[in-house]
Chain A
């Protein structure tokens, strides 16, 4: 009981966070990229499971990992990615048990129900959101490097066969394979999404 309470009260300190970063980097210095990457995977994982708050569950997972590192000094039984996954599974199972017990608010429960689409309140708000989104998109795209801007726009231009042809041309232009181009485009898009998400929240 005491141990559980200690765990519950545990907060991620800056020292623990740094150690977490080091552990995730596995000897290299990614400048926090590894942390952002693993956190993104955790969010996506919980989101795929239709969890209510993927971000919170991802942070919870990383907190537990950091705490474990604090407790044992180092985790070497598994790779960081594998260990994070194992912890994430536990966190997910716990969230499921919490839902079954009724600890989740009814509104959130409804949102979890299959078959219910995410419904916008009204058309006017939808239009306003779209406008805001476009403006933020324009702002965020302007912040991109010109080469990245050209790549991301060209990558997603056209439909079906046209899009495939465009991508081949772009890949040839940048001197990379189509697969490598798709990965680059994916990362640039993630950056844009994150920027747009932040912009719309601020607006």
Chain B
């Protein structure tokens, strides 16, 4: 008979009486003529019985086992033996370490038996399993340590970031404050600028007012002169009067031009003072080209912050002259206060 192939499942079905008849007959013959099959059959039967004892059989196989396999007294005895042997094996497990056989202790026997039989994996040390557990433990410890370090580092980063955030917030507030201050300062400067501009405008108005007054005064003096001239033409003295403002209030620093009519005998000048600091004054008429003093007054007192002087018109030609005002101090010394320049235009 040619060698046939068979599977473990077929052998199991054969043992449980579930194999088709023709296949079962083939297996019957193989159990005699094929030593390998015979051994496989014995092993499979023992494994089947052990599976039943351990409660590993399920479904149809379990039903067949109970209804078919267990019918035979001989096979039933096999099951009983398997049950007893399982108990015996668990109670008498031998731990082999380094070639030395050590029987399992009583407390470990109870651990191995019954419900804890599942933990028999620890009963017999296997190098690969031990190394595996050791490696796994080390790996877990390393992983735990790495995770702890990562957690610590991240926490540090969080704290640092938080500190930076707080610092930036504070800087932001400071900048906002400075901006606000600058804005305030800018506003104030703006106000001050406006104030200065107002003051300049005010001074400009005053100057224009004074020039207007000066012009009015000059027209009045001119009128008086005309009246004097009319009197002089009839034998009277004709005096021409002028008003001279302090040098700082002159327009643009240019000398005032005075027109002296032909028949003028006397020039009357009213000199406006910047300040009235002296009790007595002296006025001198000078030619700025030669620095020659043409005329000098006696001690005169100020009237309403102004000095009145008179001198002959013969002293003047058509040129620029200066009336130098001197303050007389208590000790009798003369101190130059200011100089009033004017241009004479003889008519």
Contact = CB atoms under 8 A, between A and B. Distances in A.
B33 A114 contact: no
Contacts of A133: 80-81, 84
Given A156-B86, A159-B54, A197-B77, A117 B124 contact: no
A44 interface: yes
A134 B91 CA distance: 11
Interface stretch (A1-9, A79-87, A99-107): A79-87
Interface string A120-141: 0000000001100110011001
Contacts of B72: 47, 50, 54, 118
A159 B119 CA distance: 10
Interface string A173-185: 1000000001100
A26 interface: no
Contacts of B318: none
Given A44-B42, A154-B94, A159-B56, 6 more contacts: A150-B96, A159-B117, A165-B121, A165-B126, A182-B43, A192-B85
Chain A at the B interface: mostly helix, strand, loop or mixed?
helix
Interface in B13-57: 14-15, 17, 28-29, 31-33, 38-39, 41-43, 46, 50, 54, 56
Contacts of B74: 43, 47, 54
A93 interface: no
A186 B42 contact: yes
Interface stretch (B63-71, B184-192, B221-229, B293-301): B63-71
A15 interface: no
B120 A158 contact: yes
Contacts of B46: 186, 189
B92 interface: yes
On chain A, which size bracket covers the interface? 35 or more
B90 A157 contact: yes
B49 to A, nearest CB: 10
A150 B94 contact: yes
Given A45-B31, A186-B46, A158 B121 contact: yes
B118 interface: yes
B43 A183 contact: yes
B84 A134 contact: yes
A157 B123 contact: yes
Contacts of A152: 89
Contacts, number: 131
Nearest to A165: B126
B59 interface: no
A166 interface: yes
A169 B126 contact: yes
List 7 A-B pairs, minimum CB-CB distance, nearest first: A85-B32, A118-B76, A133-B84, A158-B120, A81-B32, A153-B89, A81-B33
19 contacts: A41-B31, A50-B72, A54-B72, A54-B74, A82-B33, A88-B32, A117-B71, A137-B88, A150-B96, A153-B89, A153-B92, A159-B118, A160-B56, A162-B120, A165-B121, A186-B39, A186-B43, A190-B42, A196-B84
Nearest to B82: A156
A143 to B, nearest CB: 14
Contacts of B29: 82, 85
B124 A130 contact: no
Interface in B247-271: none
Contact of B71 (A50, A82, A156): A50
Nearest to A180: B39
A26 to B, nearest CB: 13
Nearest to A136: B84
B15 to A, nearest CB: 7
A154 B73 CA distance: 28
A114 B175 CA distance: 100
Contacts of A77: none
Contacts of B50: 156
Contacts of B33: 79, 81-82, 85
B305 to A, nearest CB: 127
Interface in B81-136: 81, 83-90, 92-94, 96, 101, 117-118, 120-121, 123-124, 126, 129
A25 B165 CA distance: 97
B94 A137 contact: no
A130 B126 contact: no
A125 to B, nearest CB: 12
B312 interface: no
B48 to A, nearest CB: 12
